Amino acid sequence: MYPARARLHPYTGILLAAWGTASTYTGCLVPSLLVGLGLLYHAGVLRRLLPLYAWVVVPVTLAVGLGGGPGEGLRAGAGLLALVSILSASMLLLDPLEAAYSLARLGLPLMAGLVLALVLRSSEYMGYAVYEARAGLYGRGLRGIRLLLSLPGPLVVHAFNLSSMLGEALYFKYPGRGRSWYHRPRPGMLDYLVALLAAISSIACYMGHFSIL
């Protein structure tokens, strides 16, 4: 999905999500914002995700700001941005096959790992299919809510057609053979760096720095 240098060990991803959530919840937003956005920038996906974040963060900031004042709105917006950036980084920087292996090692059912691996592996293609379906419907004059309501039709049909074609292709590519669907992960420099940053910023937060509450 992304270059190997941008990948996180699955356990680092899980711990990063937990740390980022706890850090945001306790009001220590700056480190989780920096780590989350930094990792997404490192993976080269930040520019693509920012418009999506704007859709999530701006309405919340405005709604809370209108009710409780601008300061409250900004705090809520920053907290949400920190949370979504950390959670996106911890999900998007996983290798699906390594995640499947690690989840199985943690004792989760094999199917859970397989489903996660499938979702992560196909997320980029799903994005492409949504874009193409949107372009197709836009080209025939559908706009706004009518376009959104019409999107599931071509997407569902496409998903069925694609799964049927993939099934046939895999059968003829690997007749009578199973496929391995996990890889054993190895921690890398990025994992150590994230752990170090999280530890330093947690200590700093504990000592009263970074908090905006």
137 binds another protein (CB under 8 A): yes
Taking CB under 8 A as the criterion, the residue among 4, 55, 107, 135 binding another protein is: 135
Quote the CA–CA distance of 37 and 58 in Å, as a whole number: 17
On the 0-12 / 13-18 / 19+ scale of CB atoms within 10 A, 178 is: exposed
Taking CB under 8 A as the criterion, the residue among 133, 190, 194, 198 binding another protein is: 133
Q: At closest approach, how far in Å is the CB of 141 from another protein?
A: 4
Tell me the Cα Rg of the chain.
20
Taking CB under 8 A as the criterion, the residue among 140, 173, 177, 186 binding another protein is: 140
206, 26 Cβ separation under 8 angstroms? no
Taking CB under 8 A as the criterion, the residue among 148, 157, 165, 203 binding another protein is: 157
Kindly write out the interface string for residues 44-83 of this chain, putting x where it contacts another protein by CB under 8 A and - elsewhere: ----------------------------------------
Quote the CA–CA distance of 133 and 8 in Å, as a whole number: 32
Among 1-9, 110-118, 152-160, 191-199, the segment contacting another protein (CB under 8 A): 152-160
Taking CB under 8 A as the criterion, the residue among 67, 70, 109, 153 binding another protein is: 153
Length of the chain: 213
Taking CB under 8 A as the criterion, the residue among 141, 144, 176, 208 binding another protein is: 141
Which of 76, 32, 33 is closest to 57 using CA atoms?
76
Alpha helices in the chain (DSSP H): 10-25, 29-42, 46-68, 70-92, 96-105, 110-139, 144-150, 152-173, 189-206
- Residues in the interface with another protein (CB under 8 A) total 17
- Measured from the CB atom, the residue of 123 and 150 that comes closer to another protein is 150
124 binds another protein (CB under 8 A): no
88, 48 Cβ separation under 8 angstroms? no
Interface positions with another protein (CB under 8 A): 132-141, 150-151, 153-154, 157-158, 161
